[in-house]
Chain A
Amino acid sequence: MKKVTQFLVFSSLFISMLLANVSTSAQNIKPDADNAGLTLPSGFAALKVADNLGRTRHIVVNKQGAIYAKLERLDNGKGVLVLKDTDGDGRAETKTSFGNFTGTGIAIKGNYLYAASNKEVFKYALNENGDIVDENAAATIVTGLVDKGQHNSKSITLDNAGNIYVNVGAPSNSCQEKDRTKGSMGMMPCPILDSAGGIWQFKVDQLNQSYATGVRYATGLRNVVGLDWNNQLNQLFVTQHGRDMLNNLFPDLYDTTTSAELPSETMYAIRKGDNAGWPYIYYDHVKGKKMMAPEYGGDGVKTVDDKYINPAMAFPAHMAPNGLLFYTGNQFPARYKNGAFIAFHGSWNRSPLPQEGYYVVFVPYENGKPTGKWEVFADGFSGKSVVKNPRDAQHRPCGLAEGPDGSLYISDDVKGTIYRIMYQK
């Protein structure tokens, strides 16, 4: 009898574990004892899903909970990793890879996975298990995008009307005749904007599209790395990396402290045809104004009030917003729903001041608009209390994804760590 009871208890435990795995409930997953080295708000816990993967840029999680990670550098000749948790402990046990291209952007919409190189976007069919049907049957839907090294990463997101949005970063700091060269003035009009410095819209079901067939959906965006389609508002949101080196290029107009604190990093709510104003302006969150860029006659005082859109949110300078995700899950407390998470890769352009960023922030939304406040959500990636030099950071957050159970996933592109954040109140 005792044996039978033991058997029943054991088997019911086993069955409940199995069920837990099927639903991948975050409540039943044991976080890392040190929360993966992260500092989180009360009630949240974290674990490392995987480590030492290489330069994992953006990530996406399919309905079954498998993670697809885009690599910036090939791993054994492959550029997309597939990570699976086969025993339900929250950590990935298996790693496979495919795709012979490096890059940043990756997304899933419907039964397709989209992955970007620094010039192209490829489309792969997924089967009912969320697996790639044929790794060798990638359809090239976009090709020939500008890749000149600087700001060449391509991030992608999709709407609900058969369109994909791709950022094309400007291969330039501020469209000077000679890039980043002291005393060189801005080109007028900036010729870069014809093929970069904006967001391009393409169709998901057409092959080999490029500038001639795509739509320049928004312009005047220097280098967008985070972009996400907000399904609640049915609108594109992007995060821009603001320009560098105000002091080095114009030492008579900007001191080193001003240059470290300006211009703002910005998040924009985008409508078709919008112009955010790069390279002619930059945003100053202290003044709350759009400022004329010094390359175009600005002096740190002159403002610009015409045609360029205002940011939905502005952040301190140079923190490098690399990942943007609107949270739609039910696992986290209600205040997080439909708010924005932003992964700040961390600055380099603030020296001699200490660097900033290297954390994931949360931007609360109310009635479809950001409240104007932001808070550090996950910190501790760098392993340092203060990052003086970027090479000292052990990890740098880059990509964000939401799992089917509402867990938040964060990728690091220094060591290739994937973090999973869960609410376990």
Chain B
Amino acid sequence: MQRIYITFVFVLLFVAGSSAQSSNKLVAASVARGKIVYLQRCMVCHQADGGGVPKLNAPLDASTAVNGSDVAKLIKYIVKGFADRVEIDGELYSNAMPAAADLTDQQIADVLTFIRSNWSNKAGPVTPLQVKQTRSKLK
């Protein structure tokens, strides 16, 4: 009985471990795909170092919003663009962000996962399901 129990625990640990490992692999793959999207669609304004352009384009590196828990807000910025003149971490940026509604749920999840884990950012991944759910609520 004890032996069965130990085997069971071992199997459980193995499953959990491998799923964590495969989850890490999935995130890494998402980051890699997201980087490609970033280079094509985001880098010109937000720059290779994620630092943006002072007074024109907001930085993504070390940004409170980018690293925050309100992922739906970030998804909305990409799908709908962002034209409000508001201070972001104490600074005004004069260029509006265009909507990138042509990106798929997967691409948006990938690029956000890349942005939220790159440079000094250490926020969690974003899933295509989160993008899909947020998107369905946006007009």
Q: Which residues of A contact B (CB under 8 A)?
A: 72, 149-152, 178-183, 244-245, 247-248, 251, 259, 348-349, 351-352, 388-392, 414
A347: nearest chain-B partner, CB-CB? B53
Within 8 Å CB of B39, what residues of A? 352
Say yes or no: is B94 at the interface (Cβ < 8 Å to chain A): yes
Quick one: given A182-B100, A182-B102, A348-B53, are A389 and B47 in contact (CB under 8 Å)? yes
A172: nearest chain-B partner, CB-CB? B96
Q: When chains A and B are docked, how far (Å) is the Cα of A247 from the Cα of B43?
A: 12
How distant is A260 from chain B, measured CB to nearest CB, in Å?
Answer: 9
Within 8 Å CB of B47, what residues of A? 348, 351, 389-391
Max chain A C-beta neighbours (<10 A), residue from B39, B47, B99:
B47
Pairs across A and B, CB under 8 Å, 27 listed: A72-B55, A149-B94, A150-B95, A150-B96, A151-B94, A179-B98, A180-B96, A181-B98, A181-B99, A182-B41, A182-B98, A182-B100, A183-B102, A251-B40, A259-B44, A351-B44, A352-B39, A352-B48, A388-B48, A388-B49, A389-B51, A390-B47, A390-B51, A391-B49, A391-B51, A391-B53, A392-B49
Say yes or no: is B57 at the interface (Cβ < 8 Å to chain A): yes
How distant is A176 from chain B, measured CB to nearest CB, in Å?
Answer: 9
Instruction: Decide: B99 and A390 in contact? CB cutoff 8 A.
Output: no
Within 8 Å CB of A245, what residues of B? 44
Counted as pairs of residues, one from A and one from B, with CB atoms less than 8 Å apart, the total is 68
Instruction: Known pairs A389-B48, A391-B52, A391-B59; list 20 more (Cβ under 8 Å).
Output: A149-B95, A150-B96, A152-B94, A182-B41, A182-B98, A182-B100, A183-B102, A248-B40, A248-B41, A348-B47, A352-B39, A352-B48, A388-B48, A389-B49, A389-B51, A390-B51, A391-B49, A391-B51, A391-B53, A391-B54
How distant is A177 from chain B, measured CB to nearest CB, in Å?
Answer: 11
Quick one: given A389-B51, A391-B51, A391-B52, are A351 and B43 in contact (CB under 8 Å)? yes
Q: When chains A and B are docked, how far (Å) is the Cα of A180 from the Cα of B94?
A: 13
Could you mark each residue 40-69 of chain B with 1 if its beta carbon is under 8 Å from any beta carbon of chain A, else 0?
Answer: 110111011101111111010000000000
How distant is B120 from chain A, measured CB to nearest CB, in Å?
Answer: 13
Q: When chains A and B are docked, how far (Å) is the Cα of A352 from the Cα of B39?
A: 8
Say yes or no: is B125 at the interface (Cβ < 8 Å to chain A): no
Q: When chains A and B are docked, how far (Å) is the Cα of A388 from the Cα of B95?
A: 20
Within 8 Å CB of B53, what residues of A? 348, 390-391
How distant is B134 from chain A, measured CB to nearest CB, in Å?
Answer: 20
Within 8 Å CB of A352, what residues of B? 39, 43, 48
Say yes or no: is B81 at the interface (Cβ < 8 Å to chain A): yes
Instruction: Decide: A178 and B98 in contact? CB cutoff 8 A.
Output: yes
Q: When chains A and B are docked, how far (Å) is the Cα of A150 from the Cα of B47?
A: 18
Q: Which residue from A152, A180, A388 sits with its C-beta under 8 Å from B98?
A: A180
How distant is B36 from chain A, measured CB to nearest CB, in Å?
Answer: 13
Could you mark each residue 98-122 of chain B with 1 if its beta carbon is under 8 Å from any beta carbon of chain A, else 0?
Answer: 1110100000000000000000000
Within 8 Å CB of B52, what residues of A? 391
A355: nearest chain-B partner, CB-CB? B47
- Would you list which residues of chain B between 13 and 60 have a CB under 8 Å from chain A? 39-41, 43-45, 47-49, 51-57, 59
Within 8 Å CB of A251, what residues of B? 40
Say yes or no: is B137 at the interface (Cβ < 8 Å to chain A): no
Q: When chains A and B are docked, how far (Å) is the Cα of A74 from the Cα of B72?
A: 35
Q: When chains A and B are docked, how far (Å) is the Cα of A178 from the Cα of B80?
A: 11
Within 8 Å CB of A389, what residues of B? 47-49, 51
Quick one: given A149-B96, A181-B98, A182-B102, are A351 and B48 in contact (CB under 8 Å)? yes
Q: When chains A and B are docked, how far (Å) is the Cα of A247 from the Cα of B47?
A: 15
How distant is B94 from chain A, measured CB to nearest CB, in Å?
Answer: 4
B53: nearest chain-A partner, CB-CB? A348
Say yes or no: is B85 at the interface (Cβ < 8 Å to chain A): yes
Q: When chains A and B are docked, how far (Å) is the Cα of A349 from the Cα of B53?
A: 10
Instruction: Decide: A150 and B102 in contact? CB cutoff 8 A.
Output: no
Instruction: Give the 3 A-B CB pairs with smallest separation, nearest first.
Output: A181-B98, A391-B51, A348-B53
Q: Which residue from A178, A183, A348, A392 sits with its C-beta under 8 Å from B56?
A: A348
Q: When chains A and B are docked, how far (Å) is the Cα of A179 from the Cα of B39?
A: 20
Within 8 Å CB of B45, what residues of A? 348
Q: When chains A and B are docked, how far (Å) is the Cα of A151 from the Cα of B43?
A: 21
Within 8 Å CB of B49, what residues of A? 388-389, 391-392
Instruction: Decide: B57 and A348 in contact? CB cutoff 8 A.
Output: yes
B101: nearest chain-A partner, CB-CB? A181
Within 8 Å CB of A72, what residues of B? 55
Q: When chains A and B are docked, how far (Å) is the Cα of A349 from the Cα of B52?
A: 11
A396: nearest chain-B partner, CB-CB? B54
Quick one: given A388-B49, A389-B49, are A150 and B94 in contact (CB under 8 Å)? yes
A184: nearest chain-B partner, CB-CB? B98
Instruction: Decide: A178 and B99 in contact? CB cutoff 8 A.
Output: yes
Within 8 Å CB of B100, what residues of A? 182
How distant is B121 from chain A, measured CB to nearest CB, in Å?
Answer: 16
How distant is B118 from chain A, measured CB to nearest CB, in Å?
Answer: 14
Within 8 Å CB of A150, what residues of B? 94-96
Q: When chains A and B are docked, how far (Å) is the Cα of A389 from the Cα of B46?
A: 9
Q: When chains A and B are docked, how far (Å) is the Cα of A414 from the Cα of B55?
A: 10
Within 8 Å CB of B96, what residues of A? 149-150, 179-180
Q: When chains A and B are docked, how far (Å) is the Cα of A424 from the Cα of B51?
A: 40
